[in-house]
Amino acid sequence: MSTNKADRRETILGGVIELLATRGMEGVTHRAVDELVGLPQGSTTYYFPKKTSLLVAASQYLAALLERECDELQVGFADKAATQGLEAAIAYVADELVAYADDERHLFLARVELTLASARREDLAGVGEQLTSAARRPIEFFVKLISNGQANVPIETCAGLIDGITLMYATGQAPKPTTDQVSAVLRAIL
C-alpha cells in the first residue's frame, strides 16, 4: 500500500463507504475502517480524529464519486443521442441506471445511510442535500434534455421514482429494475 497521504486518505474514505453499505452507520468505527482497509490501528484516527469529521469527509468523497459517474453518463448520453438518436440515448441511460443498481450498490446504500443520518444529526447537517444533489444531477440532466427544456417537467418526481425503485432492489424488497421500467419512468414525465 502506498504511504502517500492522499492515497491513504482515499483508501480510508473508500473503507468508510464500504462499511456504511455493509454495516450501516453504527458499523463505522475508526478501528473497523483500519481493519477493513488493512492499515495499522490508529491510522484512521490520525487523519480523522472524530467520527463526525470522518463521516463528513466520506460524504464529500462519495459526492465526488457520484459527480464523476454523472460526467461519464453525460458523455455517453451525448454520444448515443448524436449517433443513434434520442430513443437510443434514453435506452442507454436506462441501461446505465439498471447497471448502477448492481455495480454501485455500495455507493447507493452509503448515500442512503449518510442522508438518513444527516436528517437526525446536527453535526451532519447539509450532508443529505449534498449527496442528493450529486446523485440527482444525472437524472436532472437527462430529463431536461429529453423534455426539450420544458419548465414544468417534474424532475423531483422522476428522481424520487428512480431512487425508490433502486432502494427497493438494493434492500432486497423488489426484483432488479429493468431497462423497460426505468425507460418508462423517464418517458412518463414528458
In percent, the amount of the chain with pLDDT more than 90 equals 55
Q: What value does the mean pLDDT take over residues 107-128? A: 96
**Core vs surface per residue 9-39: b (16+ CB within 10 A) or e:** bebbbbbbbbbbbeeebeebebebbbebbeb
Contacts of 104 (CB under 8 A, 6+ apart): 69
pLDDT confidence bin for 37, thresholds 50/70/90: very high
How does pLDDT run across 87-98, given as a tens digit for each residue?
A: 888 888 888 888
Q: What value does the mean pLDDT take over residues 144-169? A: 84
The per-residue pLDDT for 44 is 98
At the topology level, CATH places domain 5-188 in Tetracycline Repressor; domain 2 (1.10.357)
